[in-house]
Amino acid sequence: MPTPARTRIAPSPTGEYHIGHLRTCLYDYALARQTGGQFVIRIEDTDRKRFVEGAAQRILDVIHDYGINWDEGPDIGGPHAPYVQSERLDTYQPIIQQLIDSGHAYYCFCTEERLTQMRTVQKASKQLPRYDRHCLSLSPEEIKQNIAKNIPYVVRMKVPDNETVEFNDLIRGPIKFNTSEIDDQVLIKSNGIPTYHFAVVVDDYLMKITHIFRGEEWITSTPKQILLYRFLGWDVPLFAHLTVLLDPGGHKKMSKRNGSVSARAFLEDGYLPDAMLNFLMLLGWNPGTNKEIFSIDEFVKEFSLDHLHKKSPVFDRKKLDYFNGLYIRKLNDEKLFEYFKKFLPNAKDEQIKILVPVLKERIVKFSDLKDTLKFLFEDVVYDKELLLKKGTTVEIARNMLLESKKVLADFTDIQDKLFKLIADNGWDKGEFFMVFRVAICGTVFTPPVVDCLPALGQENTFRKFDIALNLLK
């Protein structure tokens, strides 16, 4: 039996939860469940400048809406509460004092003006901007006097000179850094709030986190944190730095320019949670087989750290649409009715009952319903030439619509009557249905328009015919 893993996600409430973070969450969840461990959520809200009111609850809500549950967190508590960093400030003080007393951290009283000037000089000299340790040589008496005078200060980590920090990334293997590349980072800010790098180490240790999944952009931060573990005599957790998600072109990090990036936005756009999770599973992991469709339980069973990717995957929205379509077609009509109702708030129940069996095999995402079925709720403005797109003459187009009104005076067996009408008049089927579709929907690309007519109703159907006939005068 594997050793139970304790994994965590630690989102910052600075905005909406990114879809890439949801993938990380999924992997954390899978490893914890597979090993009989625990999955923890902790809110890291010490960045008060970027803090967004209500964002923390929205993050918890959207993760829950995707069907992922946690064992410990700010909403349900747990043995290592509190699970919100701003509520843990007293926890960090004795530990920062321990680092100061052991010589691994020191007070820095430099003003922002001095630091800015220092960086300007370094950049001009083409040096790597970093703190020059101006305050490292202060005597205990000077430090005591500065504190007594209420001179603002931060606490910095004293990084050892010219040492190698190495760790074995679970995805990328051994990674080495020389401490000459690492700045004496700030651990406690002038307002007494811990920085991310310090707080995350303390919290992960105290919460007994064993495995940390995070994006590859955090690789350069890992040696800083490993040094803190070392200074404090704590065991270092295992790190797995995941690849970033790339835009469809495969060259740039996924961004808003190519569509939604927040986990909530995909749900609002009509993607099913299970389809989205299935898609995300395969963006950075593979089962070692050709199998693509996984329930969350199947994924937990199959998940393997050995099959996590080293190469960044492309966020292929066409592939996502494919998955979503598959999952939509797995839904029964009762569940589909709920989604249609949500995304077509103006539709009557009777209309939805007609539309569900007509469209269930064609839907890619539920938000498409609004545009696809726009003709049911409003008259679409279009140009007369659209009615004549197949080269139909005005006279023939008018005749097609007038004769259609006659045969549909009895609004039953619509398709059979229209096919008979076409045959009796010797019309081209494609030409007839082009005129018919445009007249009803105002566009050449439509759902199965004949099957949708019962939802439109005879009166509205005839009104749309009349609009088209007026255009053809």
Give the whole-angstrom CA distance, residue 125 versus residue 230.
33
Give the whole-angstrom CA distance, residue 209 versus residue 382.
61
Q: Locate tokens 């040094």: which residue? A: 227
> Please, what's the b/e burial string for 115-144 (b: 16 or more CB within 10 A of its CB; e: otherwise)?
beebeeeeeeeeeeebbeeebeebeeeebe
Put residue 127 in one of left, alpha, beta given phi > 0 → left and psi -120 to 50 → alpha.
Answer: beta
CB 461 within 8 A of CB 440: yes
| Amino acid in position 453 | L
> Please, what's the b/e burial string for 244-280 (b: 16 or more CB within 10 A of its CB; e: otherwise)?
ebbbeeeeeebeeeeebbbbbbbbeebbbbbbbbbbb
CA of 40: how far to CAs of 6, 7, 37, 214, in Å? 7, 6, 10, 14
- Give the tokens for residue 337: 């009715």
Put residue 139 in one of left, alpha, beta given phi > 0 → left and psi -120 to 50 → alpha.
Answer: beta
Active-site residue list: 256
Helix orientation angle between 394-407 and 458-471, rounded to the nearest 10 degrees: 160
Q: Minimal CA–CA distance to 105: which of 31, 39, 157?
A: 157
Cα-trace Rg, the chain: 31
CA of 34: how far to CAs of 30, 195, 359, in Å? 6, 33, 38
Q: Minimal CA–CA distance to 131: which of 169, 76, 170, 186?
A: 186
- Give the tokens for residue 96: 């920062």
DSSP class of residue 43? B
